C-alpha cells in the first residue's frame, strides 16, 4: 500500500509518498500510524493532530484495516484560504 503525506507531515518525513508493506489481511490504521511514528520520530507530534484517509474516505474508525493496494493519506490540519 501507499502512504501519502502532505504539508508538515511530508516535511517531517522527507517524502511525499511511501510504499509500505502490510499483511494480506491488513493492518489497523492506528497501528499503521504507530509504525510510521516509530520509523520517522519527527512526525510523531504532527500525527496526533492529523486526520487519516483511506482510499479517499476520511476514517472515523482507526481500527479500520488498511490492506495491500490501499492508499492511506495523512492530513494535517487544513489551512486553505
Partner 1 sequence: MPVRLTTRRLSMAEAMRVLARPGLGGIALFAGCVRPDPGPGGRVVALDYEAHGPLAVGALRALEREAVRRFGPGRFVLWHRLGRLPVGEVSVIVGAACGHRAEAFSAARFLIERLKVTVPIWKTERARPGRRPRRSRARRAGRSAG
Q: How many residues does the chain have?
A: 81
Among 12, 33, 43, 73, indicate the residue that binds partner 1 (CB under 8 A).
73
- Phi/psi region, residue 23 (left: phi>0; alpha: psi -120 to 50; beta: rest), is beta
Q: Is 24 in the site for partner 1 (CB under 8 A)?
A: no
How does DSSP classify residue 78? Answer: P
Report the alpha-carbon distance of residue 29 to residue 62 in Å, rounded.
5
Find the shortest distance in angstroms from Cβ 65 to partner 1: 21
**Closer residue to partner 1 (CB): 68 or 77:** 77
* Binding footprint of partner 1 on the chain (CB under 8 A): 4, 6-8, 11, 53, 56, 73, 75-76, 78-81
Amino acid at each position: 500500500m501507499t502512504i501519502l503525506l502532505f504539508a508538515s507531515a511530508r516535511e517531517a518525513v522527507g517524502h511525499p509518498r511511501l510504499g509500505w508493506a502490510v499483511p494480506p489481511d491488513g493492518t489497523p490504521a492506528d497501528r499503521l500510524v504507530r509504525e510510521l511514528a516509530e520509523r520517522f520520530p519527527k512526525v510523531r507530534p504532527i500525527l496526533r493532530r492529523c486526520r487519516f484517509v483511506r482510499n479517499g474516505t476520511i476514517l472515523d474508525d482507526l481500527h479500520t484495516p488498511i490492506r495491500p493496494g490501499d492508499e492511506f493519506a495523512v492530513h494535517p490540519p487544513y489551512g486553505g484560504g
